[in-house]
Structure 1
Amino acid sequence: MSRILVFGNEKGGAGKSTMAMHVTSALLHSGASVGIMDLDMRQISLKRFFENREAFAASHKVDLPMARIGEIAAFEDITSPGWEKPAFESVLTGLQAQCDYVVVDCPGALTPLSALAHAAADTLITPLNDSYIDFDLLARVDPETNAVKGPSIYSEMVWDARKNRALAGGKPIDWIVARNRLSSLNMHNKRKLGDALTDLSKRIGFRFAAGLSDRVVFRELFPQGLTLLDHKLVSEIPTKMSNVAARQEVRDLVLELKLPDLELAF
């Protein structure tokens, strides 16, 4: 069976779609077959990325590795009550039969589809901006001591998904919190958040990974459906030191996921 990678939290703007695009690109460039499911039914950023990619490949006559798109919206009973579970399972099963990995991009809110995705995840990646606003999604913090008072709504939802998986005899969900868009400034705040995350990780069991820096190159190629990992295939992506450093960030992130039987080739 293919491995299911879910990018999720319940807050918009954390970088889920950007991270999902780059991890999917890394898997494709490493020779894996990948299916995607975009559960943000309005914004569909991950799906739009691959539509842009197909258009660029056709117009520039270049052979780019492509993901297989799982279309939730194409499910025939989408308007019937309780349609989400059979639609999700039907699309996921179809992708698993054809792909080494299935990458699922969740919306920045709890929906029936995102809850199903979290329950199905083998690897759950939660991007987190270095902000107490984002951290509040995971846990409540004492404003005087910075001590973690307890898990918050999203952590409780993930905990329930992991517990239900264990009760059903399934493999545990590997949960990774990726600190995203880290700044070199405000070191005191970064340290305080790091201490709080370390405390929380011991309580509820997630791993840390370095996310992606706040680089323009991670976003500017979206209209073409490209990432900087396509540099060997597309001459329009310049070779410069900042792009080399950005590619290393993607490589480090994928290595932190510890995906079995994956040999990176970029």
Structure 2
Amino acid sequence: MTRMPAHRIVFANEKGGTGKSTTAVHVAVALSYMGAHVTMLDLDPRQRTSHRYMENRFHTMQRRGIELPTPACEVFRDGDETALLQTIRRLEQDCDFLIIDNPGRDDPLARCAVENADTLVTPMNDSFVDFDLIGQVDAESFKVKKLSFFAELIWEARMKRSRATIAEKRPEMDWIVVRNRTGYTEARNMARIEKALNEMSKRVGFRVVHGLSERVIYRELFPSGLTLLDKGHLGDLGTSHLVARQELRALLKALKLPEFAKAQASLELA
């Protein structure tokens, strides 16, 4: 039986420091725990954060003599947009979900990945500095004045994708803005950001969901390649870590990925 092409999930934000790679890795490992075949494609050959995370995970499994659900991962090192699309089509034939981790900058390859996403995930810190990636707001009223270049790019990509959906047999693009690190935002400012995001979401058509809070544990886990889902290999977890795991469960549910993932939601993530 021929496998259907994978569902493409692209994590994209032109700004760094938003928890993009951390979120991508945790979603990839979560889907692996659910029984899905997952492949990651890292589009940043210089930093290759996602790929290094998976390398660390593999070394930990070797060192400890354990097996953990782990997505495959490779780095796209050379080539143009045509070569990238060829790589995407090659990889998606052997997995259920292809997760692409874009670099934290604007370049032709990043745009190509965005334009070909089934689910586009844009993590952002809960601040107007990060909101500026999507749109500009008035300094007095905090009302949205205009879309950013990034938002216009995605709007055009979605319109183009909509016209090609039937011919390519792919779903409409679902754009999701993930609010990371909300716990570090002052309450009044958080309310202003929420209002601006809701206004912008109606104009552009993205969904807003809550993501991962700022926690030291995420930085501490990187050298081992472990995630919050690797119960039994992390030692004693405090209450904040259990809350973080619940945040991840809520994020997976909010992404509304295809039926395969939702049908498996009662497995190891419970």
In structure 1, what is the Cα distance between the partners aligned to 2:95 and 2:236?
31
Runs of 4+ displaced beyond 6 Å: none
Distance 1:181 1:238 in 2: 24
What is the Cα deviation at residue 244 of structure 1?
Answer: 1.3
User: In structure 2, what is the equivalent of residue 69 of structure 1?
Assistant: 73
Equivalent residue letter for 1:188: R
Matched, 1:195 2:195: yes
After TM superposition, give the deviation of residue 200 of structure 1 in Å: 0.5
- Shift in Å at residue 240 of structure 1? 2.8
Task: Give the length in aligned residue pairs.
Answer: 256
Contact 1:70 1:92 in 2 (8 A): no
Q: Taking structure 1 as the reference length, what is the TM-score of the superposition? A: 0.92
1:162 aligned residue: 158
Amino acid at match of 1:58: Q
- The answer to whether structure 1 residue 25 and structure 2 residue 29 are counterparts is yes
Instruction: Give per-residue Cα distances to partners, 1:84-135, cap 9 Å, x unaligned.
Output: 2232122211211110101111111111111111011000110111111111
Please tell me the residue identity of whatever aligns with 2:149: I
1:115 counterpart residue number: 111
1:165 partner letter = R
How big is the shift at 1:140?
1.0
- How far residue 184 of structure 1 moved from its aligned partner, in angstroms, is 5.7
Aligned: 1:205 with 2:202: no
Listed as ranges, the matches of 1:32-43 within 5 Å are 32-43=36-47
Aligned 1:1-266 pairs, distance under 5 A: 1-73=5-77, 78=78, 83-169=79-165, 170-183=170-183, 186-232=186-232, 234=233, 236-261=234-259, 262=261, 263-264=264-265, 265=267, 266=269
Contiguous gaps of at least 5 residues in structure 1: none
Which amino acid is the alignment partner of residue 161 of structure 2? R
**C-alpha root-mean-square deviation of aligned residues, in Å?**
1.3
| Residue 167 (structure 1) shift | 2.4
8 Å CA contact 1:38–1:47 kept in 2: the answer is yes
Q: Could you list the runs of 5+ residues in structure 2 that have no partner in the other structure? A: none
User: Percent of pairs identical after alignment?
Assistant: 42
What is the distance in 1 between the residues matched to 2:63 and 2:71?
A: 18
Question: Could you tell me whether the CA contact under 8 Å between 1:159 and 1:204 is conserved in 2?
Answer: yes
Distance 1:127 1:185, change over 3 A: closer
Deviations 1:26-66 (A, max 9, x none): 10111111000011121100000001111110011000112
Q: Could you tell me whether the CA contact under 8 Å between 1:71 and 1:91 is conserved in 2?
A: no
